[in-house]
Chain A
Amino acid sequence: MKAETSPASSLKTLGRTGFGQKIAVVLSIAKTTVEEAIRRRVLLVILLIGILFLVVAPGLNVLTARTQAAILSSFLLGILQLTGALIAIVLTVYLIPNEIERRTIYTILCKPVQRWQFLIGKYLGAVFALGMMMALMTVVMLLIFWLQSTQGLDFPPSRMMETVQVCAMYFVQMSLLAAVAMFFSTFVTPLVNFFLSGGVYLVGTLFNPYFDSISRAEGASAFAKAGATVVGTVIPNFANFNVQNTVINPGAEIANPTWYYVQITLYGLFYISILLVAAILIFDRREL
């Protein structure tokens, strides 16, 4: 049974040919990665702590008299985002280094499996696992909102739907973060990768408002503004996905939410593709 779920044995679908065969290989690796992720204790501990924080969050209502819904939704979404980011990084930084360290990568790559298939499979597996964990937290969060609304919290069902949309955007955000970590994992150690990916997330989250300030600063030179525009269009911009304002402050609305969500999802997919292609280019040349 165990042998069937190992990367090597999962390649029984290799009898197929062409593109379908290649995709089948990728999916097999992804499936194995998901199963590995679910068994990893450190991820489960992070998930458990995240859920624990979600459950105790309603106790924070004492912090303010008239904005319980805002404080609670802010905290719950913050926990979900933080836990999601931690899981995305911790899950991804070890994926390739672990395979190399345990030498299991040799048994996989000696089969007719190309390196790009291995890398894409690993990434997709990480994203599936991440999605499952974030979905679980989202369900817990919605349950808390529902329980609180039965006790008088002003949180109508329409905001529940908006919360799901926000969580979906967080998922795209964390998938992008996982892609960043995957890219770095092809050439740096896990510890360095942890801080490097965290740093990119930090900069990518803070850049939009920073760029906004520069573009509005009266004293900023044209060169600085042009530089900010260039950098702003080059670095992965995580702030785009922080759409929680609509849930936390019902007065805030996105002018055209559908188009905005489609646009930033496309943006996320484009950037993930760039990072994966770059990772493939590096991984292909790496001495194992």
Chain B
Amino acid sequence: MVTKKVAALVAAMGVLFVGQAALQYNTFPTWQKNYSPSSVGDIPSGLSQDQLLFALTGFRELVGGILWVRANSFFESGNYDAVVPIIRLVTWLDPRQIDVYSTGMWHVAYNFTDQEHRADRRYVPSALALGREGTLNNANTYELFFETGWLWYHRIEDDFENAIKWFEEANEREDILPARANILAQAFLRAGQPDKAIALFERQLEALEAEVEKDPTFGNRNLRDTVENNLDTNLVRMASRGWFASQRGESLQGYDTYPPFDVGFSARVTVVAPMVIRVQGTYGVQPLGTRIRFVLKDADMPNSVPGGMKWDSLDSFRLDPPTGITYVQDQLFIRNRRFDKTLDLSRDPTMYSFTADEYDVEFFYSPNVAPAHIQDKFGYNGEGFTDSNFLNTEVRPGQRVIYNKMTLTRDQIRRTGEWRDRVPVIQTPNFVAPSQGRPEDDVIRVPNLRADNQ
């Protein structure tokens, strides 16, 4: 009798066990779909947020908030390194913390600098990866799409197609602010696509006109006036730069961008002391506002592209940059048609380890990032400028840019071996010493009302 009862209970247990297993087997995909971090895409799954002990009691978001407050105190005290792991932890704990993502991206991309406040751009791929992760976790709001686009637009200042891609994603979200939606138009302009900028301005103006009809408050009127002004200004610029003429296949003769101006680029790089580099050169543009990009990087650097690197090469956010790689990027400001800057790279061995045998020294200038008053002469994609030696149409397809690459060895940069007592100097064949100057008629004349009156 007892045996029968036990057998019945064991059998019941068996049936229940199979039942619960079937239910669990059926439930898991649903759980996975709704609650797993991987449900939002290919976010790194090295450590799931729910695997953290905090998840046990459901305090994930709270702990994230407390950690972020702590991160703020680290930031205020200048302990930037301590902030990065907290950013990682907080976004794992609470992937909905939009402010942490956006602040974290900014912090990683902008705040790590050397002694001369030169940014450590090895962090930029990490910042982009963080932004991408943030957009996957917060796809319902425009903010992180915008912030990621802003990194491309402002920090990287290259490959504006990527900025456009992210800004367009942001503009598709309902909560996009009108003032921020405008930035997409600026990205179109930077990418040399003013027609798309105009189309966007027109759509915005139409929408804002309707909004002002409904609610004629100062804010709405101001927004409408801004867009209208942008539209008018850019139409004038497109006309004066010969954009419409070029679209019709007509000659640019008579327009501001004709004839193309030869900027006469030349450069010299001198290693004045171990890991201290002086960069000099010429660039025949008189108005202020021109910046030439200077890059010094390992010759065998992975994901290297001319004048930069493949910025979106990282799939996931990393706490540390690739420490064995040396990548220096700086801006050379043009004054009186010359540039002359000394970069002391000796004080930051963690940023500039100089462990490779050879280094590429690159100079890069794209009219796409020139200020408007210079673009008025150079055009949107460099159709109004040229250089008899270094004009390049290959490194950035569709653009006319200045690009030059030279090579330095580790011994030259470190002033070791045969270069211990010799000063390494590399220069372009056309480099002109400062004392010789350039004839006055080489100076670019930017057309504007004030110049005409003079």
Q: Which residues of A contact B (CB under 8 A)?
A: 60, 63-67, 70-71, 74-75, 77-78, 81-82, 85, 201-202, 205-206, 208-213, 216-217, 229, 232-234, 237, 239-240, 242-245, 248-249, 251-256, 260, 263-264, 266-267, 270-271, 273-274, 277-278, 280-281
Contacts and interface: CB of A to CB of B under 8 A. Distances in A.
Contacts of A64: 65, 68, 97, 99
Contacts of B45: 212-213, 216-217
Interface in B240-263: none
B165 interface: no
A81 B60 CA distance: 13
Nearest to B54: A78
B50 A208 contact: yes
B393 interface: no
Contacts of A280: 9
Contact of A77 (B16, B50, B58): B58
B55 A206 contact: yes
Given A206-B51, A273-B16, A216 B38 contact: yes
A202 B55 CA distance: 10
B96 interface: yes
A278 to B, nearest CB: 6
Contact of A233 (B24, B36, B38): B24
A237 B36 contact: no
Q: In the A-B complex, list the 7 residue pairs whose CB atoms are closest, starting with the nearest.
A: A63-B65, A74-B61, A209-B50, A78-B58, A270-B20, A233-B21, A209-B48
Contact of B62 (A66, A75, A212): A75
Contacts of A254: 30, 34
Given A245-B34, A249-B96, A281-B6, A67 B16 contact: no
Interface string B17-29: 1011101111110
Contacts of B21: 233-234
Contacts of B435: none
28 contacts: A63-B69, A67-B96, A67-B99, A71-B65, A81-B58, A201-B56, A209-B36, A209-B49, A210-B48, A212-B32, A212-B38, A229-B25, A232-B28, A237-B24, A237-B27, A239-B35, A251-B138, A253-B34, A254-B30, A255-B33, A260-B30, A263-B30, A271-B16, A273-B12, A274-B16, A277-B9, A281-B6, A281-B13
A175 to B, nearest CB: 14
B316 to A, nearest CB: 14
A272 to B, nearest CB: 9
B31 A208 contact: yes
Nearest to A65: B99
A282 to B, nearest CB: 11
A66 B140 CA distance: 16
B322 to A, nearest CB: 22
A173 to B, nearest CB: 11
Nearest to B32: A212
A206 B50 contact: yes
Contacts of A210: 48, 51
Given A71-B65, A263-B26, A242 B58 contact: yes
Contacts of B60: 74
Contact of B58 (A67, A74, A249): A74
Nearest to B2: A284
Contact of B59 (A75, A233, A256): A75
A270 B99 CA distance: 43
B98 interface: yes
Nearest to A202: B56
A281 B61 contact: no
B94 interface: yes
B176 interface: no
B66 interface: yes
A243 B72 CA distance: 31
B395 interface: no
B10 interface: yes
Contacts of B97: 64, 67
Contacts of A244: 58
Contacts of A85: 57
A277 B38 CA distance: 37
B36 A212 contact: yes
A211 B51 contact: no
Contact of B25 (A74, A233, A249): A233
A264 B6 CA distance: 28
Contacts of B25: 229, 233
A263 B34 contact: no
Interface in B48-91: 48-51, 55-62, 65-66, 68-69
A85 B56 CA distance: 10
Contacts of A82: 57-58
Nearest to A81: B58
A263 B31 CA distance: 11
Contacts of A212: 32, 36, 38, 45, 48
A267 B24 contact: yes
A254 B34 CA distance: 6
Nearest to B95: A249
B62 A60 contact: yes
B27 A274 contact: no
